Structure 1
């Protein structure tokens, strides 16, 4: 008997939950293959608009050297538990291929999310690695575990890969909606004024002030980056 398929709207909800969890993650566990056995390390991820993960790693670390020998790896991120039981935490496990990245946009993305790293990111032993998912498993709560379609974890449409449009929308928000950004930051636990949009993707954006970065999710995925301005003006954000 063929396995029962979940309705498409439920699948869409699960993929969206997984995307939002990944994009909001500021820490994760990276598993690598070291001397024929798995080894695990704490990493601080950032997520590109198209859904790949970038991390800053040092060649002095054993897990980095292991990745250079064998690029197969896994990454797990999790959210806060819904109850006292830690097993109620939502979590996403990705199976990935890793590669060193010299792309300026990957480095820019990482430092936008982790600005404190600017103090050491320029050291010669540090480099950006891009983790490209080839498999994904999400647990969103009791009886809500699913193997995901990695192609649906992030959009691949041309409109949402247009980085010039992304930068233009960010500039417009920072130049014309400063007071609104401060209001949004306050709703998400930020204090003071002068918050700026430091990263934008189809699912939300990140507000930065000094070394603090706050994640803000949109109520729905963007169709084009210009919609971010409409969402901000209309208050169409979570939280």
Structure 2
């Protein structure tokens, strides 16, 4: 059985995906490319223009789906993992969500200041996870979202957790980047952490380091990070 953790790992690794809406004029399916970031629970965040077709569609019908995938670059795309998140889109004004999106997409700051751009979040009601060819499973929203209390603790203690990791494991960012890139990973900084993994940043580039299992407490985090650095 697929866990929400496995599905969230795929989603959080993506900085863009395919947004499916219903055409406001004839109800036909319409798919567009959208940049994304994710809130602490693993729900997609978007910055959308009021002029875009997908936004005008959402204003009429808020039910959408969003495909996140790690398959298209493979020689056999059917063997690659992907997850489709389905639910309703809502407009968001929370400063923490806006900041989260702009951390992942700093170049979007110029668009965010335009009057016709707004931030949105997809409230996930269900998810379709495909781990590879012949491996597919539906998850209810609560199963995809996981332990909301644990994620909320990570969100509230973000600065403290990062400070702790930088002090206790100063080599962490370099080690993670080296493992991901298969080359020396100097000058990377820990940008943000959640129960599923860490985002690392160097200049304008951001990479995702996923954990092998869901982390819910500082003690679990300490053990995971110790294993990474050892």
Give the TM-score, by structure 1 length. Answer: 0.84
| 2:217 matched residue in structure 1 | 224
Alignment match of 2:228 (pick from 226, 231, 235): 235
**Would you say 1:99 and 2:90 are equivalent positions?**
yes
Alignment match of 2:18 (pick from 3, 17, 29): 29
Q: Deviations over 1:148-175 (max 9, x none)?
A: 1221212234232122223320232245
Q: Is the Cα contact below 8 Å between 1:114 and 1:213 reproduced in 2?
A: no
Deviating more after overlay: 212-221 vs 49-58: 49-58
Q: Is the Cα contact below 8 Å between 2:166 and 2:172 reproduced in 1?
A: no
Do the aligned partners of residues 191 and 115 (structure 1) sit closer, same or farther apart at CA in structure 2, a change above 3 Å counting?
Answer: farther
| 2:5 matched residue in structure 1 | 16
| 1:3 matched residue in structure 2 | none
Aligned length: 226
Question: Take 1:236 and 1:146, find their aligned partners in 2: how far apart are those partners?
Answer: 34
| 1:50 matched residue in structure 2 | 41
| 2:187 matched residue in structure 1 | 194
Residue 208 of structure 1: SS of its match in structure 2?
strand
**Would you say 1:171 and 2:170 are equivalent positions?**
no
Question: Take 1:53 and 1:229, find their aligned partners in 2: how far apart are those partners?
Answer: 27
Instruction: List, as ranges, runs of 4+ consecutive aligned residues in structure 1 with deviation greater than 6 Å.
Output: none
Do the aligned partners of residues 116 and 175 (structure 1) sit closer, same or farther apart at CA in structure 2, a change above 3 Å counting?
Answer: farther
Deviating more after overlay: 148-157 vs 188-197: 188-197
Q: Deviations over 1:45-90 (max 9, x none)?
A: 2111212111111112121122122211111111136963322222
Do the aligned partners of residues 25 and 236 (structure 1) sit closer, same or farther apart at CA in structure 2, a change above 3 Å counting?
Answer: farther
| 1:7 matched residue in structure 2 | none
| 1:209 matched residue in structure 2 | 202
Do the aligned partners of residues 225 and 65 (structure 1) sit closer, same or farther apart at CA in structure 2, a change above 3 Å counting?
Answer: farther
TM superposition shift of 1:233: 2.9
TM superposition shift of 1:29: 0.3
Q: Is the Cα contact below 8 Å between 1:73 and 1:96 reproduced in 2?
A: yes
- Pairs within 5 Å for 1:28-177: 28-34=17-23, 35=25, 36-80=27-71, 84-162=75-153, 163-177=155-169
Question: Take 2:205 and 2:117, find their aligned partners in 1: how far apart are those partners?
Answer: 22
Do the aligned partners of residues 191 and 42 (structure 1) sit closer, same or farther apart at CA in structure 2, a change above 3 Å counting?
Answer: farther
Do the aligned partners of residues 82 and 232 (structure 1) sit closer, same or farther apart at CA in structure 2, a change above 3 Å counting?
Answer: same
Gaps (5+ residues) in structure 1? 1-9
Q: What's the C-alpha RMSD, in Å, of the aligned pairs? A: 2.3
